Structure 1
Amino acid sequence: MVVASESGKTALKVAKALRGLDVNVVCVTAYAGVRRPLGGEWPQINGEKREKLEEFGVKILDEARWIFGCTFDYAFLKTHTPSKAIHMFLSRTMGYGFKTAVEIALIAADVGAVPTDEEVIAIAGTGRTGGGADCAIIIKPAHVYGGEFIDLEKGAEVKEILALPRLKFTDYMIRKIKESRSYL
């Protein structure tokens, strides 16, 4: 199971709920290249919360690069595509959680934290804009490098949507997004 969790709180809730069920929990959080330029603390999950997650056997991915933008387009696909527009479209139509759930599954697969030949559950949400962990999907992840994730035979595939919010953007979320001037 892969969980997006900026503070570790959501990952800890998942780990507690699954305690004793022989389920590996992977927490994907912000890496230094995102946190430090924004004036944030890194590692984001530290101290007592990190210790607690480690006690539960949660693998914390805070050094894995996120997947976005023209860097992604050229480095992995050797071409330029409108990935920002695709991200914005997915966020708008399916919600931040859906887009993020797909991303964290790919990130976890890329670093070897989850297998690419098995389905995993990915949980994510709207995070800092106030929606919480409101999306869960079953996905067969794939490696991003070289474009494997879009390969017709080996590519990533969302198998099932377990939870998806009907309301994708609340007034509060829209205001927060506009304030931060960030759609992604």
Structure 2
Amino acid sequence: MGFVTRNTYYFDAPGAQNTADAARFAVERARELGVRKIVVASTSGRTALAFQDAVKETDLRLIVVTHVVGFSRPGEWEFSGEAAETLRAAGVAIVTGTHALSGLERAISRSPRLGGSSRTEAVAEALRRVVAVGLKVAVECVLIAADQGVVGVDEEVIAVGGTISGADTVCVIRPAHTASFFDLQVREIVAMPRVR
């Protein structure tokens, strides 16, 4: 019987105060496993810039997944144009795709005529409540990145999400496309908040 021993880190509380440590843990695990890509969620660009700084002296490829245009306000992209310019100049891939675990389903559940939760939203809520909000975010970002073709479904990636802002959950995921969601595997939890 084979097994490995690796560090798992637990934050006392969720939130942006964990971002620098999450970035350090992501790079550490990528090096341990020989993983080449880190997929990180970033709404405004602040988290993306922190991770760009963490991977600067490495050969790791950073992939940033942002909210879709119109997520908070119609026609607006919340990501900083200045941050996008800085990241792209450094060779960082920025992916903006429809949220795999809500998208059209959210329009139906919010509709006064249709209402009710969907199966897709139940999956998202289970990930949020049972493990961590950041895990749901990390899984969704990997689905989006795979659907956009920037990560392969035959490689492991380090995936990073957060609770409200910043990064507080780091995991190792074997990606899948959204249409093959149940082929996705969360293989390791590297870091997460103990209390949500």
TM class, shorter-length:
0.7 to 0.9
Aligned to 2:99: 66
Q: Give the deviation of 1:126 after TM superposition.
A: 0.6
SS in 2 for 1:118: coil
Q: Are the counterparts in 2 of residues 136 and 164 from structure 1 also a CA contact under 8 Å?
A: yes
SS in 2 for 1:164: strand
SS in 1 for 2:61: coil
Q: CA, structure 1 residues 70+27, in 2 after alignment: closer, same or farther (shift >3 Å)? A: closer
The alignment status of 1:164 with 2:192, answered yes or no, reads yes
Amino acid at match of 1:65: T
Q: TM-score, normalised by structure 2?
A: 0.69
Q: Which structure has more strand as a fraction of its residues?
A: 2
Aligned to 1:179: none
1:112-123 pair list within 5 angstroms: 112-123=149-160
Aligned to 2:76: 42
Q: Give the deviation of 1:141 after TM superposition.
A: 0.3
Q: Are the counterparts in 2 of residues 31 and 65 from structure 1 also a CA contact under 8 Å?
A: yes
How many positions carry a matched residue from both structures? 149
Unaligned runs of 5+ in 2: 1-37, 106-116
Q: TM-score, normalised by structure 1?
A: 0.73
* Identity in percent: 41
Q: Distance in 2 between matches of 1:36 and 1:70?
A: 15
Q: CA RMSD in A?
A: 2.2
Aligned to 1:28: 65
Q: Give the deviation of 1:81 after TM superposition.
A: 6.0
Q: Distance in 1 between matches of 2:44 and 2:118?
A: 32
